[in-house]
Amino acid sequence: MNMKWWHIGLIIALVLAGGVSLFASSSPDGLERVAIDHDFIELGEGHEVIRSPMPDYVVPGISNETLAASLAGLIGTLMMFGLVYGLGKVLKGTSVK
């Protein structure tokens, strides 16, 4: 099989997002920590401007939390690749030169 370098890169990203991410720390991150310590974390809970299909990196409607989180990571990673790859193709295709 003829694996290109970017196939390997994509596989690494999928393993990270679908597998390793399940072991990620759930503690608040840097900004959230500062926001909690200084009482402005609630400002982050504004009204919803749009309804996200997968809020908080969980696929809705799946009762197994691990599976729901892993799937969200895989879907997001593939979506990122597809979207930016497509964007690149479009930008390249419409080049003025």
Partner 1 sequence: MWVIAILIVGYAVRRTNEKLGERHVPMMGVLAAFIFAAQMLNMPVAGGTSGHMLGGVLSAIFLGPFAATIVMSTVFAVQAIFFQDGGITALGANIINMGLIGTILGYYIYQGIQKAVGGEKGILIGAGVAAWIALVLGAISCALMLWTSGVVPLGVALPAMAGIHMFIGLIEASITVVVVGMVLKSRPDLLELQKI
Site of interaction with partner 1 (CB under 8 A): 4-6, 9-10, 12-14, 16-17, 20-21, 24-31, 33-34, 37-38, 40, 43-44, 46, 48-50, 52-57, 72-73, 76-85, 87-89, 91-92, 94-97
Q: Which is nearer to partner 1, 1 or 43 (CB)?
A: 43
E strand or H helix at 4, and its extent? Answer: none
CB 71 within 8 A of CB 61: no
Closest separation in Å from C-beta 55 to partner 1: 4
Contacts (Cβ under 8 Å, ≥6 apart) of 41: 32, 35
Closest separation in Å from C-beta 79 to partner 1: 7
Q: Which is nearer to partner 1, 2 or 25 (CB)?
A: 25
- Which sign does the torsion angle of CA 90, 94, 96, 97 carry? positive
Start-to-end C-alpha separation, the chain: 36
